[in-house]
Amino acid sequence: MLQSMRVVGGCRLEGEIRVSGAKNLALPALVATILTDKPVTLRNVPNLADVKSLLELLNCIGTEVSYNDKHTITLSTRSIKSATAPYDFVRKMRASILVLGALIARHKQATVSLPGGCAIGARGVDLHIKALEMMGAEIAIENGYIEAKAPNGLIGCDIAFPMTTVTGTENILMAATLAKGTTRLINAAMEPEVEAFCELLNKMGARISGAGTSVITIEGVDELHGTEFEIIPDRIEAGTYAIAAAVTNGKILLKDCRYEHLTSFFETLNSVGVACEKVDNGVLVYRKSDEIQPISIQTAPYPGFPTDLQAQYTVLMSICNGSASITENIFENRFMHVPELARMGANISVQGKTALVTGVEKLKGAQVMATDLRASVSLVIAGLVAEGETIVNRLYHLDRGYENLEEKLNACGAHVERFEV
Ligand code: EPZ
């Protein structure tokens, strides 16, 4: 059954929201558990559709999954039952491509469907494949599948990524942990999730240095072992609720949010006129004045402005005092929220990779369509501040990345409800 969300406008969000575990760390962390035949326990795993999909795939590969509680999972892959990631899984969730590096490292063979495109862009995996070939994997593309094998194991080497790739970095990190010799990743992703991912791999016995910088060195080891690990808070979820507080002129404590994971974003909000204050147990966000200053941004790899907060920021600029430009440098088609926001009265024109947003007095509630994870949540945020009621359709996009969204918003004074259509 398809679900939609009714959002009543004109609310002010006030209260506290506990940030869940980071989706974009939980996904690679789940995959990393197949690198060893020993159990790995992950804590603070967010309860999301993408996590459930990936657990199903790992189960097919041969991983036994047991929930100790709603957010603590123990995974153990005593042996690999199937080294295949079928099209049906990978097309639904492109992060499944992460099993490629782990299966080649553990099992010396992998058959992984090419992810195909996705709503926000082509999202190729050519850099993942090239890097594995440089490490000695023999790779062929047959019938839409990546057929990879490394019968004698992988060999460490220097790999310079021509462009920063988050899951590309993570895929090669996993492959390199069990390779012979040393691998150096140059132009590696520096996201907090990648840095934490390296901590997990080192806790499993890997020998990684330079995590969080653009050059990461991995000394291959013979095997990895089990461990326990806590997933860091989700900075993108936190940033999303910061914007929701800002547009509704509310005041929210983002519990467990780590300011240093969103420095560039919080500094931008401070220039816009939204206070973002680091406090003991998180970050306190509230408007400093009635004016929302127009501040132009460009998305960039970490530590720049996160592409995953671009759609949400566009909503904030749609009610600013003036005009601001928003340039999307990471994905080629990440403005699908724009036509939907325009239906709510936003004044936005897109030229190439730049959206020019001119603030309007107010947005008006409307029926709108979610298209991808972050675009969907930007429509909910717009609904919170719009006049009247907004209906957001195709909620399955939202459930991929936001745990208990309605509960979290309604606990702060929103009126949001989900219904079957
Ligand atoms: C990760 O995607 C995140 N997903 C994305 O979050 C995030 O938007 C993105 O990084 C950028 O920060 C996960 O971590 C699971 P990339 P990823 O490889 O790794 C191109 C969300 O909303 N590219 O860093 O797939 C690619 O097309 C999601 O939570 C190639 O051309 O992104 C893109 O334009 C959305 N060839 C750019 O690089 C490759 O081999 C950056 O992609 C790899 C990437």
pLDDT tens by residue, 33-42: 999 999 999 9
At 116, the pLDDT band (50, 70, 90 cuts) reads: confident
* Residue 299 CB–ligand 1 contact under 6 Å: no
At 205, the pLDDT band (50, 70, 90 cuts) reads: very high
Q: Which atom of ligand 1 is nearest to the CA of 331?
A: 34
Identify the residue whose C-alpha is closest to ligand 1 atom 24: 165
pLDDT digits (tens, 9 = 90+) for 231-283: 999 999 999 999 999 999 999 999 999 999 999 999 999 999 999 999 999 99
| 251 CA from centroid of ligand 1 (Å) | 32
The answer to whether 363 touches 346, Cβ cutoff 8 Å, is yes
The pLDDT assigned to 119 comes to 73
| 30 CA from centroid of ligand 1 (Å) | 18
The answer to whether 72 touches 43, Cβ cutoff 8 Å, is yes
Give residue limits of the domains in the chain.
3-19+233-420, 23-230
* Residue 117 CB–ligand 1 contact under 6 Å: no
3-19+233-420 fold: UDP-n-acetylglucosamine1-carboxyvinyl-transferase; Chain (3.65.10)
Greatest Cα-to-Cα distance within the chain, rounded to the nearest angstrom: 65
The pLDDT assigned to 245 comes to 98
**Which two structure tokens, joined as six digits, stand for 68?**
């100790």
The pLDDT assigned to 1 comes to 80
The pLDDT assigned to 166 comes to 98
The two beta strands, 274-279 and 72-76, are unpaired
Claim: this prediction has a pTM higher than 0.95: yes
Identify the residue whose C-alpha is closest to ligand 1 atom 41: 165
| 28 CA from centroid of ligand 1 (Å) | 13
Write the CB contacts of 371 (distance below 8 Å, at least 6 apart in sequence): 119, 336, 337, 340, 394, 397
pLDDT digits (tens, 9 = 90+) for 319-343: 999 999 999 999 998 999 999 999 9
Strand partners, 219: 182, 207
pLDDT digits (tens, 9 = 90+) for 55-95: 999 999 999 999 999 999 999 999 999 999 999 888 888 89
* Residue 127 CB–ligand 1 contact under 6 Å: yes
Tally Cβ neighbours within 10 Å of residue 279: 12
Q: Which CATH class is domain 23-230?
A: alpha beta
Domains 3-19+233-420 and 23-230 share a fold: yes
For residue 303, say if its preceding peptide bond is cis, omega within 30 degrees of 0: yes
Query: Is 117 a residue whose pLDDT tops 80?
Result: no
* Residue 53 CB–ligand 1 contact under 6 Å: no
**Residue 157 annotated as catalytic:** no
Identify the residue whose C-alpha is closest to ligand 1 atom 18: 165
| 387 CA from centroid of ligand 1 (Å) | 35
pLDDT digits (tens, 9 = 90+) for 275-301: 999 999 999 999 999 999 999 999 999
